[in-house]
Amino acid sequence: MAARRLEHIRNFAIVAHIDHGKSTLADRFLELTGLLEERSGAHQVLDDLDLERERGITIKARAVRMAYRKDGRDYVLNLIDTPGHVDFSYEVSRSLAACEGAILLVDSTQGVEAQTVANAYLAVEAGLELLPVLNKVDMQGARPEEVKEEIETVLGIDARHALACSAKTGEGTRAVLERLIEVVPPPVGDPEGPLKALLFDAVYDTYRGVVVYVRLIDGSLAAGQRVRLVKAGRDYDVMEVGVLAPHRTKVARLEAGESGYLVASIKSLEDVNIGDTVTTSPPPEGFKPLPGYREPQPMVYCGLYPTYPKDFEALRKALQTLRLNDASFTFVPETSEALGFGFRCGFLGLLHMEIVQERLERDSDVDLVQTAPNVTYEILKTDGTTVRVEKPSDVPDPNYIEEFREPITRCSMIIPHESVGSMMKLCTEKRGVYVETQYLSPTRVMLVYDMPLAEIVFDFYDKLKSATRGYGTLDYEVKAYQAAELVRMRILVNGVEVDALSMICHRETAEPRGRRILQRLRKTIPRHLFAVPLQAAIGGKVVARETISALRKDVTAKCYGGDVTRKRKLLEKQKAGKKRMKQVGNVEIPQKAFLSVLSSDEDDDAKR
């Protein structure tokens, strides 16, 4: 039977910049459809992670099914609330693949921001119908007409008839929901055909195994069916199916076009792959799996090590469980001479790295040591081969390197017009190359630069916020790899290289950067009974040095008189003891010494 339009279903997402009101608007929709008591006191119901509530941001995309009656007809609305931060754009792209339309929410007091542009382009690339909506129109600083012009100028979307609402008070939200039903096309599927479903998320339940979230394209799904996860090639008996309304609610059957969950006693985490296709077992003849998702490309890497070696297996299990719920980060085991056994983890950005580390420490109760983050580089060797370098210790001998390449990003910054000068100066300091300036309005400017990713992953976002008094926003995407004068800088403590502190940096900035790192280490590594030299070296050349002075004990304190030779004899004996201790003594490096490498230059200036 041919596929047909499922007129009673609407699948849509809400996309916007950070703090433009996505989760609050989702709350109002839940109230309008009876899933949440009106003004129940609950806020951001779909942000159910503790970290989401503490930080006030959405980290995980969440799906919810709602029922709504319009013009005497019942509709099923599947809403996906998406994150707004640049580091979680992969969550947004996955959500949009399961939708036919999206609400483009814009704060009428702040206007079009960097992630508004990025998420709108993601929705257009996914072929979704966009419905522009202006939020926070009840606020004193609202400027809806100017913001409509910005939407048309920057995004090229007709915003003359854009709806206005206040997600906080509920004003205009019903009109948005009803317009959504009119504008967003229904899904296309074959309810009578063989089962074909997209696996778009999963969570691990201690008692029920892996709970899989699916969007049905064709066919139907019910308890008792035997299904196959195509990529893993494993078969399972479905024990339960249901919908998220907003919590898991058991139903008899899921039909084509709907989203829901299935429980099938999946115990092996390796069997579940986000983007996999779920079908009947055995698959029908001539079956073609769905294309799935484009694999995310981690751009920031760091090492995660358990503080206590006995926690290594606990950390592995915690990483596997989290990987199931967050497919955008990767991990592989590695060994460090300084830190022992751990994992090399890849992330989409610095906030993503911070969130993953916090979730690991909270969920698994494992104390972690984190090494300095670095980006992925490409090296063209003298034999013509190209290798990817994810950590400094992988850099080959300089004699075998033909060309060292670093990732270059296209950075779009939307800033107040009075901050243009300070931002251009900052971008130039970060080795940025000017691309263009675009005036969105008389007071707001979009500044575009090409900058090395390594220059923005540390503290660029903080400096941007400082330079623009908090009004600047940033979006970036990796454009290409470009040759640069890059070197591997080794950090030596007491003559021994500490691989966890080594880094790749530009030759021009290597010496001052190495000196700053050594100054931080000198403050954080405790003093020993012998002097501890700290060195930064490039190849065989030491470019910076600091010394942690030895603890001094006054061995002559009890000499109250007598010949001076008595004191000299005691001092010579102490000197010989320190010399022997320097030869056999070990220098312990505390965790805060590794973390001090992550602090920005501004922190040092503030302390001085």
Residue 274 vs residues 57, 119, 183, 318, 351: alpha-carbon distances, Å: 23, 21, 29, 18, 22
Is residue 273 included in any domain, yes or no? Answer: yes
Paired strand residues for 261: 213, 242
Structure tokens at 33: 């459809």
Phi then psi for residue 479, to 5 deg, are -100, -50
Question: Distance (Å, rounded) from C-alpha 84 to C-alpha 115?
Answer: 7
pLDDT given for residue 596 in this prediction: 63
The residue among 162, 188, 214 that closes a domain is 188
Return the CATH number at 271: 2.40.30.10
Same domain membership, residue 494 and residue 504? yes
The residue among 343, 372, 401 that closes a domain is 372
Same domain membership, residue 144 and residue 92? yes
pLDDT given for residue 88 in this prediction: 59
pLDDT given for residue 134 in this prediction: 92
Residue reference for tokens 């700053």:
516
pLDDT given for residue 592 in this prediction: 64
State which residues form the domain around 266: 190-280
pLDDT given for residue 435 in this prediction: 92
Same domain membership, residue 243 and residue 195? yes
CA angle 431, 437, 440 (to 5 degrees): 135
> Which helix (H) or strand (E) element contains residue 569?
helix 564-584
Structure tokens at 40: 């129940």
Same domain membership, residue 142 and residue 45? yes
Question: Distance (Å, rounded) from C-alpha 605 to C-alpha 608?
Answer: 5
Return the CATH number at 548: 3.30.70.2570
Question: Distance (Å, rounded) from C-alpha 383 to C-alpha 482?
Answer: 19
> Which helix (H) or strand (E) element contains residue 30?
helix 22-32
Same domain membership, residue 468 and residue 494? no
pLDDT given for residue 590 in this prediction: 65
pLDDT given for residue 449 in this prediction: 93
Same domain membership, residue 494 and residue 542? yes
Same domain membership, residue 559 and residue 574? yes
Same domain membership, residue 553 and residue 510? yes
Is residue 420 included in any domain, yes or no? Answer: yes
pLDDT given for residue 448 in this prediction: 92
Residue 223 vs residues 150, 218, 237: alpha-carbon distances, Å: 50, 17, 8
pLDDT given for residue 59 in this prediction: 47
What residues of the chain score a pLDDT lower than 50? 1-2, 39-42, 44-60, 581-585, 600-608
Is residue 274 included in any domain, yes or no? Answer: yes
Is residue 396 included in any domain, yes or no? Answer: yes
Structure tokens at 111: 């206007």
Question: Distance (Å, rounded) from C-alpha 42 to C-alpha 190?
Answer: 38
Is residue 29 included in any domain, yes or no? Answer: yes
Structure tokens at 314: 């606990």
Residues contacting 313, CB < 8 A, separation 6+: none
The residue among 313, 339, 372 that closes a domain is 372
Total structural domains in the chain?
5
Question: Distance (Å, rounded) from C-alpha 351 to C-alpha 58?
Answer: 12
Is residue 286 included in any domain, yes or no? Answer: no
Return the CATH number at 351: 3.30.70.870
pLDDT given for residue 578 in this prediction: 58
Return the CATH number at 447: 3.30.70.240
CA angle 98, 100, 101 (to 5 degrees): 115
pLDDT given for residue 3 in this prediction: 52
Return the CATH number at 32: 3.40.50.300
Same domain membership, residue 210 and residue 86? no
Same domain membership, residue 425 and residue 338? no
Same domain membership, residue 95 and residue 8? yes
Is residue 292 included in any domain, yes or no? Answer: no
Same domain membership, residue 90 and residue 170? yes
Is residue 285 included in any domain, yes or no? Answer: no
Of 523, 524, 517, nearest to 492 by C-alpha is 517
